[in-house]
Amino acid sequence: MTADSILATEQAHLLQSLACLDEMRDAAERIADYGVDALASEGLGRMRAARIQHLAADASAPPFFGRTDREAEAEHPSGEVFHIGRRHIRDDSGDPMVVDWRAPIARPFYRASTVDRQGVRLRRRFGFADGRLTSFEDERLDAGEELGLASDLLREEIERPRVGPMRDIVATIQPDQDELVRADLDTSLCIQGAPGTGKTAVGLHRAAYLLYSYPERLRRSGVLVVGPNSAFLRYIAQVLPALGENGIQQTTVDQLVAHVPATRQEPVEVAVLKGDARMADLLRRAVFSYIAKPVDDVVPIVGTRRYRIPVERVRRYVDDARRSLAAGELRWDSARERLRNLLAQDVRRQREDVGGAPSDSETRKVARSQQVREFVDSVWPALDPRAVLVRLYTDPAFARRCTGTSLTDEELALLAWTGAPPRTPRLAKFSAADQVLVDELTGLLSSNDAYVHVVVDEAQDLSPMQCRAVARRCPLGSITVLGDVAQATAPWAAGSWPVTLTHLGQPHAVVRPLTIGYRVPGEVLEVANRLLAHIAPNVPPASSVRAGGDALTYSTDVATAVRRCLAVAGSIAVIVPDARADAVLGELASAGIEAATLAEELGHRVTVVPATAAKGLEYDSVVLVEPAEIVAAEPTRVGGLRRLYVAWTRAVSRLAVVHQQPLPEELTEPMEHREPAGLIG
């Protein structure tokens, strides 16, 4: 077959697949929602809506992007052919026209090699333009052909100028990434990777893979994706819907714990202390301290009769509830409930002992009786997490009692409330670190939403207490942890995966590295890698699959540098020291260049990005303003260099450094004792 006739045949398959997809959508819309009862009908309706949404997702995307031809088998003497796409498409008779990329049969498309063919004779990739099939690329694995990263279609995809939000990488997932994407649901993973190695992409595709592969286990309380900030969430928001997954909750850690607003700023050292794992112990002791020792018999009145529960028995019940609380079997509020029930059951037994036959509803009435309620309130009061926290901050004797030996006097003094104490806990102004503590307390008092799998991105920046907040959302499930210790800029960051994983409740998660960079051009990465010796000596330098002729330039004027970027296609970020954001916006405006802020919709050509908000984002061109000032703005040199490392590694095609001050010396000194980052492929 000639290339043209292959293309024509594939184009015909594409049109047929689209027609089948239309038919599947029509069929889904025709199905009525009649279940056996109203609830079942509602459930069916929901499922149907989800299915229609799934089938409609990203209708502009080609129905398939690849194909595998399998070796001949007894049942299929000429070898089966599978087209691989974003979703399963079948014809009228139910035969697959396209198989979902997540299906086990699609795996060899990503993983087969000449060494391990996995039953595949030929792998074909397709190129598209405006929804039309325009090219294809074959690897005859059985003839020893394997392109790897040298594939033109793969390189085109990687080098496509970036505009707007993040895209899925489903057509070009690499074997090392695929292994992580398809790890089973019970496996917790920690993916450590240099900037642009595809951690976020892998984490999101893993979420989609798990939903497809474990629908039963994930249908109810599925997958939660946690990102560092709302700009990042907006940037990644389209990836999962484009893969047909609309039901995944995506949130920031701050949103996760926002029971109270964060309206108070506080010194870094206070925030660091409040993020320390020892706070968990303090809060726990504080909560337990509210349990009082019963001193009297309890005497519930039923009708006109009084039943006496002797104090020794009452103490036993309280001890029993306390043990359940300590063992984590019960939260505070349900332990209160348990206590009420224990007392009511005691009365029931007393009545039975004298020949009565009290009903369940009478027993429930005893549990709710005034005497039982007053007793429970006195030994096991209802607690407001804000009140407990405010008391710890405003009552030094109480804080000291709850501390044990874990916090020093200096540390306790740091926690003390500054300014006039709030009149009521409801009026207290809390900080972002307090929000996490309120969440910890809330978790001690009552249960929260729990997920079967959590994907947490930029996890290197989480404080131990934030890690615990994430872990609480996944008490029995697994976690995919994504991050890069070299990019840890938060002052409370642990800087070590074993520590972070322990606080995430996953001490045995395997740390898996990704070292091939798909974003940053080689010459830009080579300079960034010089910083590693100073910011994360144990992290190996990454290599880049990409090089650009004018990838790294230096100049002195922002507007000129931006204009040069405007001359080529793609998104542009002007990454600035935070304090300069307004000035640079003004400078660009007076130069006649329209620029947006990060708070505005994605898709603007030029965005001014404060250095502290650049994490996780990427742009085709980056104009990086005054690196030395970005470093100096952080409390420590290492923190500053890490911030610069993040900012330096946001560009896909070109990085234009604009500076009048000398560059930080760590950037200009070549790497010693290290392998320079090579270009792969």
Ligand X SMILES: Nc1ncnc2c1ncn2[C@@H]1O[C@H](COP(=O)(O)OP(=O)(O)OP(=O)(O)O)[C@@H](O)[C@H]1O
Q: Which residue is nearest to ligand X (CB)?
A: 198
Of 151, 197, 229, 543, which lies in the binding site for ligand X, with binding defined by CB under 6 A? 197
Is residue 654 a contact point for ligand X (CB under 6 A)?
no
Long-range Cβ contacts of 312-320 (<8 Å, 24+ apart) = 313/346, 314/343, 314/375, 317/342, 317/343, 317/346, 318/291, 318/293, 318/294, 318/379, 318/380
> With binding defined as CB under 6 A, does residue 544 bind ligand X?
no
Q: Which of 415, 417, 436 is nearest to 425 (CA)?
A: 417
Task: Give the interface size with ligand X as a residue count (CB under 6 A).
Answer: 21
- Among 201, 474, 562, 608, which residue sits at the site for ligand X (rule: CB under 6 A)? 201
Stretch binding ligand X (CB under 6 A), from 131-139, 191-199, 341-349, 425-433: 191-199
Place of tokens 């020892």: 278
Nearer Cβ to ligand X, position 177 or 506? 177
Residue (of 209, 234, 227, 187) closest to 107 by Cα position: 209
User: Which residue in the set 519, 605, 643, 654 belongs to the binding site for ligand X (CB under 6 A)?
Assistant: 519
Distances (CA, A) of 362 to 90, 365, 375: 60, 5, 19
Whole-number Å distance between alpha carbons of 535 and 538: 9
- Shortest distance, position 643 Cβ to ligand X, whole Å: 13
- The owner of tokens 């086990």 is 104
The only residue of 58, 71, 138, 157 in contact with ligand X, by rule CB under 6 A: 157
Task: Tell me the β-bridge partners of 466.
Answer: none
Binding region for ligand X (CB under 6 A) out of 195-203, 415-423, 550-558, 633-641? 195-203
Helix, coil or strand: residue 526: helix
Shorter beta-carbon distance to ligand X: residue 125 or 274: 125
CA separation, residue 661 to residues 534, 583, 625, 665 (Å): 21, 17, 10, 11
What are 200's two structure tokens? 């976020």
- Of residues 195 and 294, the one with the C-beta less far from ligand X: 195
Site for ligand X contains 244 (CB under 6 A)? no
Q: Is 461 in the site for ligand X (CB under 6 A)?
A: no
- Choosing from 198, 222, 541, 577, the residue that interacts with ligand X (CB under 6 A) is 198
Provide the minimum distance between the beta carbon of 552 and ligand X in the complex, in angstroms, as a whole number: 17
Per CB under 6 A, does 529 bind ligand X? no
**Is 200 one of the annotated binding-site residues?**
yes
Q: Is 609:617 a contact under the CB 8 Å cutoff?
A: yes
Candidate residues 158, 181, 376, 641; the one interacting with ligand X per rule CB under 6 A? 158
> Do 521 and 656 form a contact (C-beta atoms < 8 A)?
no
In DSSP notation, 120-182 reads: EEEEEEEEEETTEEEEEEEEEGGGT---GGG-HHHHHHHHSPP-SS----TTT--HHHHHHHT
Helix, strand, or coil (residue 248): coil
Residues 607-626, one symbol each (x = binds ligand X by CB under 6 A, - = not), give ---------x-x--------
Asked whether residue 627 is marked as a ligand-binding residue, the answer is no
Q: Which stretch binds ligand X (CB under 6 A): 53-61, 198-206, 240-248, 444-452?
A: 198-206
The residue ranges that bind ligand X (CB under 6 A) are: 157-158, 169, 172-174, 177, 193, 195-201, 484, 518-519, 616, 618, 649
* Binding site feature residues: 193-200
* Binding site feature residues for ATP: 193-200
